[in-house]
Amino acid sequence: MIGLNHFLILAGALFCIGMFGALSKRNAIAILMGIELMLNSVNINLVAFSRFVTPKVLTGQIFAIFVIVVAAAEVAVGLALIFAIYRNRVSVNVEDFDWLKW
Amino acid sequence: MDLVNYAMNHVWLIPLFPLVSFALIAFVFFKMPKVSATISISAILLSFATALLVGYGVIQHGGFVEDPLQYTIKWFQVGSLKMELGVRLDGMTAMMLFVVTLVASMVNIYSLGYMHGDRSFSRFFAFLSLFAMSMLGLVIAPNLLQMYVFWELVGLCSYLLIGFWYHRYSAREAAKKAFITTRTGDFGLLLGILAIQVHFGTLDFAQLSHVININNAPAYLFGILLVLFLGPIGKSGQFPLHVWLPDAMEGPTPVSALIHAATMVVAGVYLTGRMLFAFQAVPSAMLMVAIVGGFTALFAATIAITQVEMKKILAYSTVSQLGYMMLALGAGSLSSSMFHLMTHAFFKALMFLGAGSVLHAMHDEANIWKYGGLRKKMPITAYTFLVGCLAIAGIFPFAGFFSKDQIIEAVYKMSSMDGGTGAFAGIYTILFWVAVITAGLTAFYMFRMFFICFTGEEKPENHPHESPKTMTFPLLLLAVLSLVGGLVGFPGLKEGVAFGSFVRLGEFEMVHANAFLITLTTVVALAGIGLAMAIYWKKAISHEAIAEKFKPIYNVLYHKYYIDEIYLWLINNVLDGLGKVLYWFDIHVIDGIIDGIAAIARFLGGSMRKAETGKLQNYGLVMFLAVVVIAIILYLAGDNTSSTAAAFLLGGGK
Amino acid sequence: MNEVVFYILAAIIVIAGLLVVSLRNIVHSALFMVLAFIGVAGIYVMLGADFLASVQILVYAGAIAIFMVFGIMLTQRGNMQQTNLFSKQAGVTGVVSLGLFGLIVFLTSKTDWIKSTESINKDTIPTIADAMMSTYVVPFEVAALLLTVAMIGAIIIAKGVNKSQ
């Protein structure tokens, strides 16, 4: 039987993969992709809990919709930022953006 | 009678008059020199009159020796520490009051003539009044604290007066030297006072004399007295802190007469006399006082025989006589020491004022070889000076004869020659011979000075003239006192008449004439005078030949045993060297510690800033790493079955 | 039947995710991300959230992924093969990720989840609509506001500031 644990482990795996991508890639857009994967894993968690804990009220699904909304807004603004930096520095390699260095 | 009683109960008026005089001169009448002088002289004469009344009253009461008249007011109290200000009146006090006010009055009158025309006339009289107040306050002190306060005040006045002509470099230096040298001694005095307060709980002389006596002297008392005695060594010019007295001659001659002959320098002897009951409780302390005094007496006398300035000879003579007074105290005789103090005040002040008269006439030329035959044009000065010389040489019936004889007799009694069996009898024998030899040397150098200055051929370039009456009157008065002042110590005088009955420690001892001692001292004195006569008056032996023959000794004596040079070497090398060592320590060790702490902070900062790479991914990684680590720790720290804390950290769970 | 579907979908998602983060060509990464999104949509359907699955496809796979590709297009320089390399801390990050994954697996398996025994809600859309307009109307409006603000902000940031102003 596919129980709650399966979905949770799947979400956890997706989260860790997303985290790995976000913290170890050089391209700024690749980091955004990792963040999207993490958000998706959160959504899987929410929906799974909604299905197994409160099937009637569907709270988790509504929450997941809002997460998708926020993710969309965040991608928009994030890419705008990347454009702005790219225009000035002609690079999207995050290792070059270390002006807060000592 | 009422006036006498009033005076005895209001002895504090005696220092008050000069204090008021000082205030008036300093703040009101500064621009009016004649008024200032009048105020100062009137104040000190008032004090003198009161002192005479007090003296009369004291004699009436048999000297107040056993139960002194003492009245005080409370100054401050901190816990069990009580400080009082007031008056202690006994025979010794009355004698000192009389001497101080007398000499101060004479000096005030003399200064009218001597300082005439000086542009700081008022300032001089202001300082004279201040000094009179300080010395009188010291003399009436009932406890060590009041005495210390006024001790410092007289030191201040000495500094102000030595450096009176402050535009002269040598005067400024001499003032500093005096103050610093006496300060060195005063440090010891302060330590002694503190130790006494700590150990005995009181500084009052009366109470201390009950607490300290020979039966219960604690072991540390010698140490306390040793340290305490440094004050008198400094103030009374004993070896090794005598170096300031000859240099103090830079001040005006009236100052030298008043402060450095008759009154301030005897403060050390006075303090030792007041504390003599404590010294007597520790025989080794008495020996120390005697040795210091005796050595100083001989030491200064040997220097004096080569000096060529009149005031310097008199200064070394003062140091030598102060040594005599200390020697007397060390031999246990308060009466003879105080008696010599009184007679010495008379004839030494006389001779200083005489020297001032000569300097006034010779327009401040100090080298005695430039004088000669002055007695023809300055008879009063010359013959009063002769009286002083005879007194100090100890010729009957002048004052010095009686007082010096009593001192020598006191030392003789402690020595083994008289069958004394004390622990240090042998040393006292040596001191006895030291005293006798010094008596001969004293006669010699005093008459050497007299013959060189006042006899012989006049030099044509000098135009001496006798001094005005304001200057000769004190000379005459003091000459009379030098003649008759010793008669109160005439042997055979009974209790109630003799000096020794009013000023004593212990039982009254009638003075007996010791034929052996009298002959010995007179012979020695006459030998000294005779030798001086042969060399300097009759010119039978050439003094230059003697100086050539004994050249190395002569050089050492002339340069005062090079003590000043040795001290300067010590200060430059030892003291400065120590200062340099401590400076190095301060810069390298102490600052090094501070700088080291700063360097550690700098190093830590320098290494920890490397964690700020500016890259967001590094920060994120560290954060997630922390989450994992904390979750593991929380899980392991709690019990293994429930993973609630860790689960909460990650979100969710039961 | 259920299990087979789940494992296939799970494999798709995980493998696509791994490829997203490990390929060197960023366009390839974007494409595999789309695949991962579609897999997630399938999972939603398995869980009975059909409306959410449609929203997922529409928004994620349809808009956000395209957005990414546009971004790649506008910021691409040089060799396509070199556009998506690992940084220096990849090794440590891998270890940390594995640690985190192990922790999650361990903790979730240990925890005693409270499950309900009710049957699934089959009318997802009416339920969601009702809830959205009644209980969650405030977050709904705020979300709308958020989208507006994000749009305006993105335009301004991307437009940049004219140097002469």
pLDDT in tens, B61-82: 776 777 778 888 888 888 777 8
- CA B113, CA B353: separation in Å to the nearest integer? 11
Which position has the token pair 């000669």?
B372
**ipTM greater than cut 0.85:** yes
The partner residue sitting opposite B615, judged by closest CB among A19, A49, A94, is: A94
| Percent of chain B residues topping a pLDDT of 70 | 96
- CA B617, CA B623: separation in Å to the nearest integer? 10
Is B617's Cβ below 8 Å from some Cβ in A?
A: yes
Subunits close to C (at least 3 CB pairs below 8 A): A, B
- CA C44, CA C38: separation in Å to the nearest integer? 10
Asked if A100 and B620 come within 8 Å (Cβ–Cβ), the reply is: no
Helix (H, G, I), strand (E, B) or coil at B186: helix
Helix (H, G, I), strand (E, B) or coil at C164: coil
Is A23 within 8 Å of C101 (Cβ atoms)?
Answer: no
**For C103-142, what is each residue's pLDDT tens digit?**
999 888 887 788 877 888 888 899 999 999 999 999 999 9
The partner residue sitting opposite C107, judged by closest CB among B618, B627, B643, is: B643
Does the structure show a pLDDT above 80 at B341?
yes
Does the structure show a pLDDT above 80 at B540?
no
**For C43-59, what is each residue's pLDDT tens digit?**
999 998 999 999 999 99
Q: Give the CA distances from residue B17 to residues A14, B40, B151, in Å, rounded to whole numbers and listed in that order.
A: 107, 9, 19
B218: number of CA atoms within 13 Å, CB side? 10
What sign results for the dihedral spanned by CA atoms C40, C85, C67, A21? Answer: positive
What sign results for the dihedral spanned by CA atoms B275, B280, B286, B290? Answer: positive
Who wins on pLDDT, B232 or B374? B232
Cβ–Cβ pairs < 8 A, chains B and C? 37
Subunits close to B (at least 3 CB pairs below 8 A): A, C
Is A16 within 8 Å of C104 (Cβ atoms)?
Answer: yes
What sign results for the dihedral spanned by CA atoms B278, B279, B282, B283? Answer: negative
pLDDT classification of C24: cutoffs 50, 70, 90: confident
Is B45 within 8 Å of B106 (Cβ atoms)?
Answer: no
Model confidence, pTM: 0.72
Average confidence (pLDDT) over B203-213 = 83
pLDDT computed for residue B123 by the predictor? 92
Does the structure show a pLDDT above 70 at B201?
yes
| Beta carbons within 10 angstroms of residue B422's beta carbon | 16
Does the structure show a pLDDT above 60 at A69?
yes
Does the structure show a pLDDT above 80 at B360?
yes
| Percent of chain B residues topping a pLDDT of 90 | 42
- CA B488, CA B99: separation in Å to the nearest integer? 14
Is B614's Cβ below 8 Å from some Cβ in A?
A: yes
Does the structure show a pLDDT above 50 at B654?
no
pLDDT classification of B613: cutoffs 50, 70, 90: confident
Strand partners, B204: B143
Residue B143 has phi, psi (to 5 degrees) of -140, 170
Look up residue B281 and give its DSSP letter: T
Q: Give how far B633 is from chain C: nearest CA, Å.
A: 12
Q: Output the CA angle B491-B495-B498, nearest 5 degrees.
A: 45
The least confident of B66-70, B349-353, B424-428 is B66-70
**For B292-338, what is each residue's pLDDT tens digit?**
999 999 999 999 988 888 899 999 999 999 999 999 999 888 989 99
* Rg value, chain B, Cα: 33
Label each residue of B386-419 as H, E or C: HHHHHHHHCCCCCHHHHHHHHHHHHHHHHCHHHC
**For B287-300, what is each residue's pLDDT tens digit?**
999 999 999 999 99
* Rg value, chain C, Cα: 21
Residue C20 tokens read as: 């997203």
The least confident of B167-171, B241-245, B286-290, C159-163 is C159-163
Strand partners, A93: A27
Instruction: Find residues 6-65 of chain A whose CB sits inside 8 Å of chain B.
Output: 19, 22-24, 31, 49
The least confident of B78-92, B294-308, B465-479, B540-554 is B540-554
Segment (H or E) for C72 = helix C65-75
Q: Output the CA angle B556-B561-B566, nearest 5 degrees.
A: 125
The partner residue sitting opposite B617, judged by closest CB among C87, C100, C112, is: C87
Strand partners, B85: B73
Asked if A98 and B617 come within 8 Å (Cβ–Cβ), the reply is: no
Amino acid identity, position B462: N
Look up residue B181 and give its DSSP letter: H
Average confidence (pLDDT) over B266-281 = 90
> Which of chain B's residues have a Cβ under 8 Å away from the Cβ of C107?
631, 635, 643, 646-647, 650, 653
Helix (H, G, I), strand (E, B) or coil at B485: helix
Asked if A14 and C17 come within 8 Å (Cβ–Cβ), the reply is: yes
* Beta-carbon contacts of residue A74 (< 8 Å; ≥ 6 apart): A35, C150
pLDDT computed for residue B63 by the predictor? 64
Average pLDDT, chain B: 87
Residue B204 has phi, psi (to 5 degrees) of -75, 135
Amino acid identity, position B513: A
> Which of chain B's residues have a Cβ under 8 Å away from the Cβ of A99?
614
The least confident of B145-154, B409-418, C86-95 is B409-418
Look up residue B537 and give its DSSP letter: I
pLDDT computed for residue C122 by the predictor? 85
Is C121 within 8 Å of A46 (Cβ atoms)?
Answer: no
The partner residue sitting opposite A23, judged by closest CB among B609, B613, B621, is: B621
**For B99-154, what is each residue's pLDDT tens digit?**
999 999 999 999 998 888 888 889 999 999 999 999 999 999 998 999 999 999 99
pLDDT classification of B218: cutoffs 50, 70, 90: confident
Residue B600 tokens read as: 């550690």
Asked if A98 and B614 come within 8 Å (Cβ–Cβ), the reply is: yes
- DSSP string spanning B303-347? HHTT--BHHHHHHHHHHHHHHHHHHHHHTT-HHHHHHHHHHHHHH
CA nearest to B300, candidates B486, B409, B437: B437
Q: Give how far A102 is from chain B: nearest CA, Å.
A: 6
Asked if A94 and B617 come within 8 Å (Cβ–Cβ), the reply is: yes
Is B308 within 8 Å of B275 (Cβ atoms)?
Answer: no
Look up residue A93 and give its DSSP letter: B
pLDDT computed for residue B215 by the predictor? 65
> Which of chain A's residues have a Cβ under 8 Å away from the Cβ of B620?
22-23
Does the structure show a pLDDT above 60 at C165?
no
* Beta-carbon contacts of residue A41 (< 8 Å; ≥ 6 apart): A11, A12, A13, A14, A15, A18
- CA A44, CA A7: separation in Å to the nearest integer? 7
Q: Output the CA angle B355-B356-B361, nearest 5 degrees.
A: 100
Who wins on pLDDT, B259 or B193? B193
Q: Give how far C91 is from chain B: nearest CA, Å.
A: 11
The least confident of B305-319, B496-510, C87-101 is B496-510
Is C145's Cβ below 8 Å from some Cβ in A?
A: no
* Beta-carbon contacts of residue C140 (< 8 Å; ≥ 6 apart): C132, C133
pLDDT computed for residue B652 by the predictor? 52
Is B292 within 8 Å of B225 (Cβ atoms)?
Answer: no
Does the structure show a pLDDT above 80 at B506?
no
pLDDT classification of A12: cutoffs 50, 70, 90: very high
pLDDT computed for residue B639 by the predictor? 60
Asked if C21 and A21 come within 8 Å (Cβ–Cβ), the reply is: yes
CA nearest to B653, candidates C44, A8, A67, A58: A8
